[in-house]
Amino acid sequence: HVTLCSKLKAALMEQKQWPEICSIQENARCLQHLCRLQIRRCLGRLRLRSPIFMSFVPLPDRLKDYILYREYDLWGQQGNSPG
């Protein structure tokens, strides 16, 4: 969360985008997540969906898992179904 100085806040409050600015400020993403988004943008959708390509990306497995949102994988890294 970033606090705006009073002069900047006064100037921004006069803008029609003020509600949007407030929303962005209140829902700011952490730098770690912004970096993940940029890396995903650089790799592209097709490469992200290719396990073979991702196996050759020169990054630690933990970072690859983060880039691929594996922390939200309910079935584990092997893709096993429950039961």
Six token digits for residue 7: 């002069």
Q: Are 25 and 1 in contact, with CB atoms under 8 Å apart?
A: yes
- The type of residue at 74 is L
Assess if residue 51 is contained within a domain. Answer: yes
Domain that holds residue 65: 44-72
- Read off the pTM: 0.58
In a domain, 83, yes or no: no
For residue 43, CA distances in Å to 3, 22, 31 come to 34, 31, 18
What is the pLDDT of the chain when averaged over all its residues? 85
Torsion 63-65-67-69 (CA) sign: negative
End-to-end CA distance of the chain: 42
Counting the structural domains of the chain, the total is: 2
Lowest mean pLDDT among 10-19, 50-59, 66-75: 66-75
What's the pLDDT tens digit per position in 14-39? 999 999 888 888 877 889 999 999 99
29 and 52, same domain (yes or no): no
In a domain, 63, yes or no: yes
